[in-house]
């Protein structure tokens, strides 16, 4: 039961909902610096939100050199299947904008990998 309220709690924050939406729609893994640029939120913030989504069991982590990629967990059960479908259907302008920004990040990937890091200076840790 707690599992399910935790799913909803994880999605009850705008930043985290945007993160999950990006993952559901793109069907890809994204790395922390890509999220940072797309969401326009400092890295430490993105990192914390990703941790919450991970602890809720919604996303997985994969390390590759200095980069950490996050993707959806494999869907087991009809509940998550429907929940992800629902998220895909949210008709919010913000989410469309996010997808545009995601495309920009995909365009600067090199052989499918995120190698360029954060592009927006003001979002980096100093």
Partner DNA sequence: TGCATAGTTGCACAATGGCGCAACAAAGAT
Partner DNA sequence: ATCTTTGTTGCGCCATTGTGCAACTATGCA
Query: Toward DNA, which CB reaches closer, 12 or 97?
Result: 12
Site string for DNA, 2-41 (x = CB under 7 A): -------x--xx-xx--------------xxx--x----x
Binding partner of residue 95 among its own copies, DNA, none, CB cut-off 5 to 8 Å per kind = its own copies
* Side-chain half-sphere exposure of 109, counting CA atoms within 13 A: 17
Binding partner of residue 1 among its own copies, DNA, none, CB cut-off 5 to 8 Å per kind = its own copies
Cα-to-chain-centroid distance, residue 57: 13
107 in contact with its own copies (CB under 8 A): no
């Amino acid at each position: 039961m707690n599992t399910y309220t935790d799913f909803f709690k994880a999605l009850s924050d705008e930043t985290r909902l945007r993160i999950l939406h990006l993952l559901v729609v793109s069907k890809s893994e994204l790395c922390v610096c890509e999220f940072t640029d797309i969401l326009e939120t400092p890295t430490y913030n993105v990192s914390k939100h990703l941790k919450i989504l991970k602890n809720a069991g919604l996303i997985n982590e994969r390390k590759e050199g200095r980069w950490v990629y996050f993707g959806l967990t494999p869907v087991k059960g009809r509940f998550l299947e429907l929940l992800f479908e629902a998220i895909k259907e949210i008709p919010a302008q913000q989410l469309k904008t996010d997808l545009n920004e995601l495309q920009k990040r995909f365009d600067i990937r090199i052989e499918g990998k995120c190698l360029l890091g954060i592009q927006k200076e003001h979002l980096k840790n100093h």
